Structure 1
Amino acid sequence: MTVTYVIDGAGITGLDDFWDRIGEAVNGPGGYFGRGLDAFADCLRGGFGTPDDGRFVIEWRDHAASARALGHAETARRLDERLPRVHPSNRARVEREIAEARAGRGPTLFGRLVSIITETAGPEALRLR
């Protein structure tokens, strides 16, 4: 049997909201299911609330609203927050990513989350509604 976790994308206003929603969808009120991209990928691999057999689906309702909220502006904001902590050898790359995001180009957090889900749990593990 496949378990379905539903995320209401209409209420997501930023990445912190996504972490709250996915945590609650999988593990109930106040639940945790990653609060960073690497931690999220780890959680998708199992042992953090999903079935042991790996048979689950994340149904992301109103994903278009989430795509806007997790778009270039939020991506640039998050990169700006990270910039002071990056290794000096990565600083120029992150600055370029910030400039691209501010210009409305390049990958977005929404796209990264979708990629993480489909690459880690498989394409059948995500339903965008």
Structure 2
Amino acid sequence: MLNSDKNKTIIINGSHFSDLAGFYDEISKVLMKNTDWQVGTLDGFDDILYGGFGVFESQDEVEINWKDSQKSKEDLGFEATRSFYENKIRQGKPFNTELIQHKLDKLISGGGQTLFEILIEILESHKNITLILN
């Protein structure tokens, strides 16, 4: 949905996915229309939020409305995050397994971020993006 030339509203629908790979698919559909590039990592997600390719330019003000965000919070919560870190540790290189183990330990002790919280932090780090959780 387009508000003006420089203001855009984008909808992420949490009912369209139940895991991180599904989130990447959803984001690719809504943010990378008419491109061959697909989001597949947290860094890649952060990169596309700078704009300049996909559906908005870097100077655009963007409102992201995350529908069914509570479902996403549960789907991308503790269990999904633990599996995410454990898979990276199993894979080893090129991942910094010591850092990932530290993040996993912090998560298990109750002090670490879930994938959902990491995604929210990434979105909120972009000053031109307003996030609305529904």
Aligned to 1:61: 67
TM-score by length of 2: 0.79
Counting only pairs closer than 5 Å after superposition, residues 1-129 of structure 1 correspond to structure 2 as 1=4, 2-28=7-33, 32=37, 34-52=39-57, 53-83=59-89, 84-86=91-93, 90-102=96-108, 105-119=111-125, 121-122=126-127, 124-129=129-134
CA pair 42-8 structure 1, distance change in 2 beyond 3 A:
same
TM-score by length of 1: 0.82
- Report the AA paired with residue 100 of structure 2: V
- Report the AA paired with residue 83 of structure 2: R
- Report the AA paired with residue 46 of structure 2: A
- Structure 1 or 2: larger helix share? 1
Q: Give the fraction of aligned pairs with identical amino acids, expressed as a percent.
A: 26
Contact 1:118 1:124 in 2 (8 A): yes
Offset from partner CA, 1:67-104 (integer Å, 9 cap, x none): 1111111111111111132568x433322322343455
Structure 1 regions of 5+ residues with no counterpart?
none
CA distance, structure 1, for counterparts of residue 76 and residue 9 of structure 2: 22
CA pair 10-103 structure 1, distance change in 2 beyond 3 A:
farther
Contact 1:3 1:57 in 2 (8 A): yes
Contact 1:20 1:31 in 2 (8 A): no
Computed over aligned residues only, the root mean square deviation of the Cα atoms, in angstroms, reads: 2.5
